[in-house]
Chain A
Amino acid sequence: MSDIQKVQETLNTEGQLSAESSVAVAVEELPLNKKRRVNEYERQKTVYGYFFLIPLLVGFVFIYGEILVNAIMFSLSKFDFTGTQYQLVWPWEEGGNASLWHNYHYIFFVQDGLIKDLGTSIGNMLLDIPVVIIFSLFIATIISGKVPGRTFFRAIFFIPAVLITGVIAESQLNNALLNDMNTMGGISTGGIASTSIFSLEDMEEILGDIVFSSSIFGFLQNLVENIFDVVNKCGVQILIFISALLGINPSIYESAKIEGANGWDCYWKITVPMLVPMIYVNIIYTIVDSLCATDNVVMQLMDSFRSSADYDLASATAVTYFIIIGLIIGLISLVMRRFMSKD
């Protein structure tokens, strides 16, 4: 850095224009009203930001802020629910030696298993990220390109995004008939493998000894067996990638091809760098989706608190949980920022 600065200094003292000062001259040479407009624009930018945020600000001040404050208050006080009315009892109202953090103390030290649960769910999440990102990028690349019948396929790959939430997920969760079918030799039991010529067991025997260590193989085998879950987890990410891929101007590829780039170069030097912002979004979505899924162990712990009307404990767990998620996302943002500052 210092060398570059030295060179720049010598260039300036010698009277030669560096790139920056030439720009400055160019701005100075603009007609007065245009120059004023540029300055004014910079100033306006600081003020007008708030105008674009008006919906969010109004919502936060009048609606969501109160909801958040209440949720945090629940976690700090004792929740008293008597039939139709609820009441928050603060530690100082209760008397005795109750502290403000008694709910947190309870979930961490009295009731055990929270730390272990946190470990498992974060571990699962870390395994989910590469699988989901690579798989959804792969699928999105295929469907957004030229494929026969892509309207049909895009409609199909929209289904998982709908399935993961709400009423349709519920309808499949406790479905007696569907469960019967699956155990009869459906896909989720790996039944396909046992009837085919080349079964998963064979593959384990061959690959497990030669190529992979057993833990990596176990992980891959798990992926193959639960391919339905993997596809379902990728629904939203696939859609986000597709819309990002469709947004890339085709003339960029055209000019790259004329310069002599092949498909491989185009993919790694144009497509992937342009997708980095959306990879970031998808990583964060995957984290949240994995940590806030209904079958997550910590979420189930919260549910069990809620079903026994311990809203205070559930809130304390939730507050702890989202502080941890926030820290993870902060860490990942720091890493991702290095990739994104390049361009």
Chain B
Amino acid sequence: MAKKNNEQAVPAAVLRKDDDNAIKISHGYVEEEEVVEEVVEEFNPRKMSKLENTWAKAKKILWPIVKVLFLLEMSFIILFPLFAQLSTTFMSEADVSDPTVEYISETPTLQNYIDVIEVSSYWETLITTILLCAVVGVLTMYVSSLVGYGFSKFKFKGRGFFFAIVILTIIIPPATVMFPMFMKFRFFDIDIFGIIKLLTGWSIVEMITGDPIKMTNTVWPLILLSATGFGFRGGLFIFLMRQFYNGCPNELSEAAYVDGATVFRTYASIMHPLGKSLRVTIFLLSFSWQWTDTFYSGLFFSQSFDVMANVLQKAENLAATNDTATSVMTNTGTMLILVPLLIIFIFGQNLMAEGIERSGIVG
């Protein structure tokens, strides 16, 4: 047995040597014709058999197909409920009560859309909401970037305490602050933690104007909250930006400073542009959360205020009392809310990719 093994071992070693040479030769040959990536694979010192070669080639073709199939499956899971909602919006009343109709309407109609658009003054609502969301999104984006940078790159007294507050705003259940928040903006007053009013009974705003400012039913509560980083999930965005700037090397800002830039100049022209892709993400998230928001809209706006969250209610009011008719209207409203948002996202997403190409020096 041992003898046999020895006999086999010798030619195998020779063969491998030959193979190595063959690879080197073929490598020289490949380099001329194929792209660089392929060459890198050929550098692999492992012996590459023909089978492995074909497998590598097959992987190049198969892998994208597997990926696309997987993504299509996931997309189906995401889109199916929306598709179901969409299909019902074209149904007339006859279709809804017809048990043979499941997804495709027999007498498709656009009447639902016409009705909801009319009753909810949709176009005015659309413009108001776009403006409101844009302002909130832009404020959130810049403020969270600024504050996140402050937390990441500066050491000062109370940093831990203020960062704890940022985390607190993330983990506090929003419903907890609902009532105090409403009271704050219903009787808005400039006060330090509400202590001055509590101890002395003075109210600065009341002294000047005679009455506390009533901010409900205006967009000011939302603007003030997002301008100070306390908007919807503002803490999350600050945290996100801080993590991002933590990953940026200190040497970048130090070099800029040694070259004569002030702290603010360093931020504005070196660090701020680096975070563009993340800022676009933050903008898109806060824009779309404001778009579909019911928490603040319910708190600060009356039913007649033209924001998207109220479209749904107005649509539901249109329907007769029965359940299915209500859901047809709900679904129509949902589509009217969702579709403009998706269109805006597709544009915004291109911005996200653009940001990366322009800021070349990450890492």
Is there an interface contact between B236 and A160, defined as CB atoms closer than 8 Å? no
Interface size on B, residues (CB 8 A): 121
Kindly provide the distance from the CB of A85 to the nearest chain B CB, expressed in whole angstroms. 11
A232 to B147, CA, bound (A): 29
Instruction: Tell me whether B173 and A167 are in contact (CB under 8 A).
Output: no
Residue A322 CB within 8 A of the other chain: yes
Contact with B along A239-283 (1 / 0, CB 8 A): 110111011110010000110101000000000001001101100
Cα-based distance from A281 to B240 in the complex (angstroms)? 6
Interface flags for A169-207 (1: CB within 8 Å of B; 0: not) read 111100111101100101100000000000000000000
A259 to chain B, nearest CB (A): 9
With a 10 A CB-CB cut-off, give which of B40, B328, B342 has the most chain A CB atoms: B40
Counting chain B CB atoms within 10 Å of each CB, the highest count among A71, A167, A280, A303 belongs to A167
Q: A45-B154, A66-B184, A246-B352 are in contact. Are A168 and B171 (CB under 8 A)?
A: no
Find A262's partner among B44, B147, B263 (CB 8 Å cutoff).
B44
A162 near B341 with CB under 8 A, answer yes
**B213 close to A (CB within 8 Å):** no
* Residues of the A chain whose Cβ atoms lie less than 8 Å from the Cβ of B96: 177
CB nearest to B349 among chain A residues: A154
Known contacts A62-B191, A262-B44; is-contact A302 B346 (Cβ 8 Å): no
A243→B174 contact, CB < 8 A: no
Q: Judging by beta carbons under 8 Å apart, are A156 and B75 in contact?
A: yes
B-facing residues in A90-149 (Cβ within 8 Å): 139, 142-143, 146-149
| B92 on the A face (CB < 8 A) | no
- A178:B84 contact, CB within 8 angstroms: yes
Complex Cα–Cα for A177 and B98 (A): 12
A7 at the interface (CB under 8 A from B): no
* Contact (A231, B74) CB under 8 Å given A44-B263, A56-B147, A257-B40: yes
User: Judging by beta carbons under 8 Å apart, are A161 and B288 in contact?
Assistant: yes
Residue of B37, B330, B337 near A175 (CB, 8 A) is B330
Whether A49 contacts B192 in the complex (CB less than 8 A), given A175-B331, A322-B168, comes out as: no
Chain A neighbourhood of B230, CB < 8 A: 56, 59-60, 63-64
Task: Report the tally of A-B residue pairs with Cβ distances under 8 A.
Answer: 332
Asked whether, in the complex, the Cβ of B247 is within 8 Å of the Cβ of A168, the reply is: no
A284 near B: Cβ within 8 Å? yes
Whether the Cβ atoms of A56 and B166 lie closer than 8 Å is: yes
CB nearest to B363 among chain A residues: A249
Q: Is the CB of B67 within 8 A of A277?
A: no
Interface residue B155 (Cβ < 8 Å from any Cβ of A) = yes
User: Is B16 in the interface zone, CB < 8 Å from A?
Assistant: no
Q: How far is the CB of A75 from chain B (nearest CB, A)?
A: 9
Q: Is B284 an interface residue (CB 8 A)?
A: yes
Mark contacts of B310-330 with chain A using CB atoms, 8 A cut-off: 1 yes-contact digit, 0 otherwise: 011000000000011011101
Complexed CA–CA distance, A272 and B114 (Å): 50
- A57 CA / B168 CA spacing, docked (Å): 14
Contact indicator A46/B75 (Cβ below 8 Å): no
Name the distance in Å between A336's Cβ and chain B's nearest Cβ.
10
A44 to B5 alpha-carbon distance, docked (Å): 75
Which residue of A64, A71, A178 is within 8 Å of B228 (Cβ)? A64
Q: Are A67 and B331 in contact (CB under 8 A)?
A: no
A64 in contact with B171 given A176-B326, A243-B278, A281-B243 (CB within 8 Å): no
Are A326 and B78 in touch, CB under 8 angstroms?
no
Residues from 217 to 266 in B contacting A, C-beta threshold 8 Å: 224-225, 227-230, 236, 238-240, 243-244, 246-247, 254, 257-258, 260, 263-264
Known: A167-B312, A168-B338. A258 touches B154 (CB 8 A): no
Chain A residue numbers with a CB within 8 Å of B84 are 177-178, 181, 186
Asked if B64 and A147 make an inter-chain contact with CB atoms under 8 angstroms apart, the answer reads yes
Q: Would you call A23 an interface residue if the criterion is a C-beta within 8 Å of the partner chain's C-beta atoms? A: no
Rounded to whole angstroms, the CA-CA distance of A246 and B351 in the bound complex is 12
Residue of A nearest to B70 (CB): A142
Distance from A148 Cβ to chain B, minimum over Cβ atoms (Å): 6
**Cβ-based interface call for B120 (8 A):** no
Contact with B along A306-320 (1 / 0, CB 8 A): 100001001100110
A181–B175 touching, CB < 8 Å:
no
B168 and A171 form a contact (CB under 8 A): no
For A150, the closest partner residue in chain B by CB is B71
Cβ–Cβ contact B156 & A171, under 8 A = no
Beta-carbon contacts of B79-102 to A below 8 Å, as 1s and 0s?
111101100100000001000001
- The answer to whether B308 and A167 touch across the interface, beta carbons within 8 angstroms, is yes
Q: Is A212 an interface residue (CB 8 A)?
A: no
B194 adjacent to A70 (CB under 8 Å):
yes
Tell me if A38 is interfacial: C-beta within 8 Å of chain B. yes
CB-CB under 8 A from A74, the residues of chain B are 179-180
Q: Is A219 an interface residue (CB 8 A)?
A: no
* Cα distance A48–B264 in the bound complex, in angstroms: 9
Chain A CB within 8 A of B165 CB: yes
Contact A48 B263 (CB under 8 A): yes
A4 CB–B CB distance under 8 Å = no
Q: Quick one: given A66-B184, A257-B37, are A322 and B171 in contact (CB under 8 Å)?
A: yes
On whether the beta carbons of B341 and A46 are closer than 8 Å, the reply is no
Q: Looking at the assembled complex, report how far the CB atom of A162 sits from the nearest CB atom of chain B, in whole angstroms.
A: 5
Distance between Cα atoms of A246 and B244 in the complex (Å) = 13
A94–B30 Cα gap in the complex (Å)? 90
Q: A47-B156, A154-B349 are in contact. Are A63 and B228 (CB under 8 A)?
A: yes
18 A-B residue pairings within 8 Å (CB atoms)? A45-B263, A46-B155, A48-B154, A51-B150, A64-B165, A66-B193, A139-B74, A156-B75, A168-B338, A171-B331, A177-B327, A178-B85, A178-B331, A181-B84, A228-B77, A242-B281, A247-B278, A329-B167
Q: Given contacts A166-B295, A228-B77, list 12 more A-B pairs with CB under 8 A.
A: A37-B258, A45-B155, A60-B165, A63-B224, A65-B192, A67-B177, A175-B331, A177-B88, A177-B324, A274-B363, A281-B243, A319-B176
